[in-house]
């Protein structure tokens, strides 16, 4: 028996054990990654809704329940562009048919409701309206790199029932494309 060959074997054994352990740990990491990713999405990256008060004083805790939400930040006032957005969001919600109840439209104003806006909103009984809301913590969660500050101009955000920000749309958007997006999401989603 060659002594050189026997001395090489003990060194090779720990090295191969090392690679087996690395492979085992990598395999464990691959199987655990969906659970870790889900936990991060649920507890780290979800939107944190502060306690909000709707027009009329009714509290809206935990982001309005487990529904899909269109959130429209309108700044201090809801001008013509904001009112057009509200109209189209209502139409999109109605056109969802049997999924209408799975969608909630929310308007968040930085200023108070004016009499003319209050009159306009009579045609929107299912709209949740938050007035005079300036807390930067909620707005900061909707901030998108390269976009104007939240509330500077009307902008629409889609939030899923698990409080994850899914999509955003400019104030002027193609309502047919948005409707197609939402119908596809509702069809594929088992939540909300």
Tell me how long the chain is. 192
On the question of pLDDT at 91 being above 90, the answer is: yes
Identify whether residues 32 and 82 lie together within a single domain. no
| Count: domains in the chain | 2
Identify whether residues 121 and 78 lie together within a single domain. yes
Identify whether residues 36 and 64 lie together within a single domain. no
Tens-digit pLDDT profile for residues 41-68: 656 556 666 565 565 666 665 556 678 9
pLDDT of residue 93: 92
On the question of pLDDT at 160 being above 60, the answer is: yes
Identify whether residues 123 and 181 lie together within a single domain. yes
Tens-digit pLDDT profile for residues 1-29: 555 555 555 555 567 788 888 888 998 98
Which residue, among 16, 169, 178, 4, has the nearest Cα to 81 in the 3D structure?
169
Identify whether residues 70 and 91 lie together within a single domain. yes
pLDDT range class, residue 175, cuts 50, 70, 90: confident
Identify whether residues 96 and 169 lie together within a single domain. yes
On the question of pLDDT at 87 being above 90, the answer is: yes
Identify whether residues 62 and 157 lie together within a single domain. yes
Residue where a domain terminates, one of 26, 45, 64:
45
- β-bridge partners, 169: 156
Q: Return phi, psi of residue 156, to 5°.
A: -110, 135
In three-state secondary structure terms, 68 is: strand
Identify whether residues 16 and 65 lie together within a single domain. no
In three-state secondary structure terms, 70 is: strand
Domain membership of residue 74 as a residue range = 52-188
Give the C-alpha separation, 145 to 166, whole Å.
15
* Mean pLDDT to the nearest integer, 97-107: 90
Where is pLDDT greater, at 176 or 139? 176
Whole-prediction pTM: 0.69
Identify whether residues 31 and 92 lie together within a single domain. no
* Mean pLDDT to the nearest integer, 133-144: 79
CA quadruple 31, 32, 35, 37: dihedral positive or negative? negative
Dihedral through CA 31, CA 37, CA 42, CA 46, nearest 10? -170
pLDDT of residue 9: 53
pLDDT range class, residue 90, cuts 50, 70, 90: very high
Identify whether residues 24 and 100 lie together within a single domain. no
Identify whether residues 62 and 96 lie together within a single domain. yes
On the question of pLDDT at 34 being above 90, the answer is: no
Identify whether residues 61 and 41 lie together within a single domain. no
Give the C-alpha separation, 65 to 85, whole Å.
23
pLDDT above 90: percentage of residues in the chain: 14
**Listed range (3-12, 86-95, 123-132, 171-180) with the worst mean pLDDT:** 3-12
Give yes or no for a contact between 107 and 37, defined as CB atoms under 8 angstroms apart.
no
CATH number for position 125: 3.40.30.10
Give the C-alpha separation, 117 to 187, whole Å.
34
């Amino acid at each position: 028996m060659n002594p050189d060959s026997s001395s090489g074997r003990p060194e090779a054994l720990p090295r191969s054990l090392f690679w087996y352990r690395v492979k085992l740990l990598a395999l464990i990491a691959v199987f655990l990654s969906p659970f870790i990713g889900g936990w991060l999405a649920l507890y780290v990256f979800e939107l944190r809704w502060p306690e909000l008060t709707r027009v009329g004083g009714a509290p809206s805790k935990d982001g309005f329940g487990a529904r899909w939400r269109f959130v429209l930040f309108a700044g201090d006032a809801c001008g013509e562009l904001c009112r057009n957005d509200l109209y189209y969001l209502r139409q999109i919600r109605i056109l969802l048919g049997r999924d209408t109840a799975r969608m909630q439209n929310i308007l968040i104003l930085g200023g108070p409701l004016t009499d003319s806006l209050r009159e306009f909103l009579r045609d929107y009984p299912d709209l949740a309206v938050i007035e005079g809301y300036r807390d930067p913590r909620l707005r900061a969660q909707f901030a998108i790199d390269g976009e104007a500050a939240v509330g500077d101009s009307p902008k629409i955000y889609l939030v899923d029932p698990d409080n994850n920000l899914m999509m955003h749309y400019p104030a002027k958007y193609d309502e047919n494309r948005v409707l197609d997006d939402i119908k596809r999401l509702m069809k594929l989603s088992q939540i909300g």
